[in-house]
Amino acid sequence: MKVVLEHLTKKFPNRNKKIKEDVVAVSDFTFEIPDGKLIGLLGPSGCGKSTTLNLISGLEAPTSGRIYFGEEDVTDISPENRDIGLVFQNYALYPHLTVEQNIIFPLQNLKGDKKMTKQQMKEKALETAKLVQIDPYMSRKPSELSGGQQQRVAIARALVKLPKVLLLDEPLSNLDARLRLQTREEIRRIQRETGITTIFVTHDQEEAMSISDEIVVMKDGLLQQIGKPQAVYDHPVNMFVAKFLGTPPINIFRGEIKSKQLYIGDDRICETDHGDMQVYVGIRPEGVILKKGGSLVCRLNRVEVMGRDTSACCSNDNAVSESIRFIIPSDEMTGDEGDLVAFDIKPSKLHLFDAETENVII
């Protein structure tokens, strides 16, 4: 089931009563989520991710704009009748019910020809529990399960009715690092197996990049960029997106284009077609080659050994961020702490942003 958002806007009265202006949590969103795909909705805390999800689920009504599931306009349909599955950060299971009873719960209210017998419900619950690999624990109470297991029960409960759309709001945030990795791979597997159109909200760029068919990057209620994770990483439309994706983060320098040459301070970096202007230069950590006589000179402050690679922590008077970090293969790393070192920059890893608008220069 494809999901289409059309000029979707949600305003809230400001929680701070002294401020008269509304908070625009979601501003004029238009995009299409293709059928059967997993979309990662990504952005910093407070950017409007949950509000977007709540609009799609029907828990919130939009101030303006429309929502379509397939060709059907669902904007005025109540959440119960939208055929969605919802999973939140806190598992929100019924503590007094067993795993099986929790999973069965949504099936009990089905009406008409969808109505099931007790036996059918039990079978359906078991089938779904197997999908999320929680079937050995059907008779346990939530308190007898680990966080990861509880979240799998919550996912099973959301899936048991085979919803048209699965909505997950930071479902892994309460899990420890190892479980988070494992559970995100499981969500991906389950999504592939069921083919249910899924929207996965997270503030964790690595999480979104690793499991999404496409990512949607938001900031301050505004959609910034949509695309395949690698494409957004390789071609960010502005400095915010460039900085938000990637660990370690992209290094940003103040730069200048003069007579078709790009400079960072006195260092001439490369030729360019653009006219004279002030720019920000973004260089990905993996985007340099350590080389005597290289175009960009930095001071090497510290070398961190990471095994296969080393991390060269440097400084440069024109760096915007205090510390610059370049990833260098261990066998290519030379230079002592305190030395000046030079780097050549891989053209595909260099991004130029207008110093005023912070939009990428094309």
Give the residues lining the site for Mg ion (CB under 5 A). Answer: 50
Query: Which residue, 45 or 78, is less far from ligand ADP as judged by CB?
Result: 45
Nearest-approach distance from CB 15 to Mg ion, in angstroms: 15
Answer with the entry of ligand ADP, Mg ion, none that 25 interacts with (C-beta below 5 to 8 A by kind). ligand ADP
CB of 46 to Mg ion, least distance (A): 8
- Which of 104, 172 has the CB closer to ligand ADP? 172
Rounded CA-CA distance 290/335 in Å is 10
Return the number of the residue (50 or 128) whose C-beta is nearest ligand ADP: 50
Sign of the alpha-carbon dihedral angle for 45, 49, 53, 56: positive
- Residue 308: which of ligand ADP, Mg ion, none does it interact with, CB under 5 to 8 A by kind? none
Specify the residue, 50 or 197, whose C-beta has the smaller distance to Mg ion: 50
Which of Mg ion, ligand ADP, none is residue 333 near (CB under 5 to 8 Å by kind)?
none
Q: Give the nearest distance from C-beta 49 to ligand ADP in angstroms.
A: 3
CB of 3 to ligand ADP, least distance (A): 17
- Which of residues 75 and 89 has its CB atom nearest to ligand ADP in the complex? 89
In whole angstroms, the minimum distance from the beta carbon of 10 to ligand ADP comes to 8
Q: Which is nearer to Mg ion, 56 or 360 (CB)?
A: 56
Q: Which of Mg ion, ligand ADP, none is residue 51 near (CB under 5 to 8 Å by kind)?
A: ligand ADP
Query: What is the binding site for ligand ADP (CB under 6 A)?
Result: 12, 15, 23, 25, 43, 45-51
48 binds, among Mg ion, ligand ADP, none (CB under 5 to 8 A by kind): ligand ADP
CB of 48 to Mg ion, least distance (A): 8
**Which of residues 55 and 153 has its CB atom nearest to ligand ADP in the complex?**
55
Task: Find which of Mg ion, ligand ADP, none residue 236 binds, CB within 5 to 8 Å per kind.
Answer: none
Please state the closest distance from residue 168 (CB atom) to Mg ion, in A. Answer: 11
